[in-house]
Amino acid sequence: MSTVEETIWQPADIFEPTPSRHGSHAIVILNQPLNLPFSVYQNLWSNSNYEIAADGGANRVYTLNRSNSSEEDLPLTTVIGDLDSLLPKTHSYWSSKNVPIIHDEDQYSTDFMKAVNHIREKQDKGLDIVVLGGLGGRVDQGMSVLHQLYTYQKEPGYPDGRMYLLSTEAITFVLKAGRHRIKAIAKYGEDGLGAGLGKHVGIIPLKEPSVISTEGLEWDVENWETEFGGQMSTSNHVKKDWITVETTKDVLFTIDLELPAGQSSD
């Protein structure tokens, strides 16, 4: 593999209860069930400086708060969207906590887009965003979320901040064309209540064909052509603490989660 500048990733940092070396992040909650252990969300929130629910995402945080045994609920900074999914009881709940609820009727943007745009208007440029949900419901909505991961990260070097898509099973992010070094073996926090990374990896050329080289996986490749309808690196396995991916075009990188013993994502 060539000697070029690398982009460094430590995705498990988002689960740390204190700010990572990249600084804190913002959270966008989509309208999908929040089925990870409550302690995982607590860690995500503790390292966040802005939490925004995209319409029905506010229902999901409300349900999570009502179902947990912790005395401290997860807060929201804002609720935004066309509000066609926001339940009356949820509206009352967040209103009673003085959370702004913004009705945005723009039919040319999704609730996810409205949430991201709102964060980027209100927060410092370059703030990372962790997106909760987006892959567990309708296929078209899931593809729309993946499409937006590309749309909001067009520039080299991620000047507007990196975006992580966190589902119940995995964390997914876009590797821009170039060389990337990813810390792929990371356990949950010292308190035993967080989440770590698993061993299953996928590198998906969602936007266009690419040529990739990898180091640190069970099945490494060198100058390997990958595309939809052709060959694709899915269900690969992590073999080293750090793995390297070099790609000629933007690709999705996904790695599964590992939860502490006795906790599940159901």
Residue 248 and residue 221 in contact, taking contact as beta carbons nearer than 8 Å: no
pLDDT of residue 139: 84
User: Can you state the percent helix, strand and coil of the chain, rounding each to 5?
Assistant: 20, 30, 45
At 34-80, the pLDDT tens digits run: 999 898 898 899 889 899 999 999 999 999 999 987 778 999 999 99
CATH number of the domain located at residue range(s) 6-258 in this protein = 3.40.50.10240
pLDDT of residue 265: 47
Q: Which residues of the chain have pLDDT under 70?
A: 1-4, 17-23, 137, 187-194, 260-266
Distance set, CA 115 to CA 29, 48, 67, 69, 132 (Å): 9, 15, 25, 29, 12
Which residue from 69, 67, 74 is spatially nearest to 35, judged by alpha carbons?
A: 67
pLDDT of residue 143: 87
pLDDT of residue 266: 46
pLDDT of residue 43: 87
pTM: 0.91
**What would the two tokens of residue 212 be?**
């990739």
- Integer Cα distance of 97 and 112 in angstroms: 23
Q: Among the residues of 47-130, which ranges form H helices?
A: 57-67, 88-96, 111-122
Q: Is the C-alpha dihedral spanning 95, 97, 103, 108 positive or negative?
A: negative
At 168-186, the pLDDT tens digits run: 889 999 999 999 999 998 7
215 phi and psi angles, rounded to 5 deg:
-145, 130
pLDDT of residue 118: 94
